[in-house]
Amino acid sequence: MDRWNGKIAVVTGAGSGNGAAITKDLLRNYIKVIGLDINLEALENLKRTISNNFKENFFAKKCNVTDFAEVDAVFEWIFSNFDGIDILVNNAGVARDGNLCTMDPKDVQFILNTNVMGYVHCTRKAFINMKTRKFDGHIILINSALGHRVVPLGNSMSVNIYAPSKFAITAMTEIYREEFFSEGTKIKITSISPGMVHTPMIGEEVKEKVKNILYPEDIAQAVIYAISTPPHVQIHEISLKPFGEPV
């Protein structure tokens, strides 16, 4: 991890859940973190929970990853105020209730814009910056177990377009791996696919029904493991499931 001391990480969806836990673990490893979130208040609340030893290395910026103009502006601010981006954690994600066959197309589009296009645009900005600087950075895509296998959740719940959006991340990971290499870089790409995680995205009713569940800190540890590998090792996919998960 010594190579990352003082380096710059960008975490999308940093205000809560997995993003907040990942941010804290990166900070504890002496990495400067620029936390992006659509909810600036959530970022400010996160900052209040960060140890005083690391507060000065956390920078909060409001950013809606579905708004390409806003993403461009935030990344230009980053490029103007820091040496560049060394680690990108694409974490911002959303889910909506409803059956795919009947749900509002606007909800479907919002999920795809956040979970897929948000990753595409942020990855593009980070990759070009890393390649231009000739820096062997690392890009993390927070995926899901539902991005590898669709598991029925029962009559009262549907994974609707959320699962296909995560299947896209699985395919994108392989495409990025090949493209990063063909572009002559040593930039790494890692997909992290957890099962159900105790985050605000999961409703309280669901949390009460589920006996086996992961926590954001578990996902954060996987991120640290992936970026701690030596230059010749690339962790392509990490799959996490809570012990005893039935499927």
Active site residues: 162
Give, in order, the Cα–Cα distances in Å from 202 to each of 164, 214, 222.
18, 12, 20
Determine if residue 84 is left, alpha or beta; phi over 0 gives left, psi from -120 to 50 gives alpha, anything else beta.
left
Q: Which residues contact 86 (CB under 8 A, 6 or more apart)?
A: 4, 7, 8, 9, 31, 130, 135, 137, 138
Concatenated DSSP letters of the chain: -GGGTT-EEEEETTTSHHHHHHHHHHHHTT-EEEEEES-HHHHHHHHHHS-TTTGGGEEEEE--TT-HHHHHHHHHHHHHHSS--SEEEE-------S-TTTS-HHHHHHHHIIIIIHHHHHHHHHHHHHHHHT---EEEEE--GGGT------TT---TTHHHHHHHHHHHHHHHHHHHHHTT---EEEEEEESSB-STTS-HHHHHH-SS-B-HHHHHHHHHHHHTS-TT----EEEE--TT---
Q: Scanning the structure block, which residue is given the tokens 């809606």?
A: 64
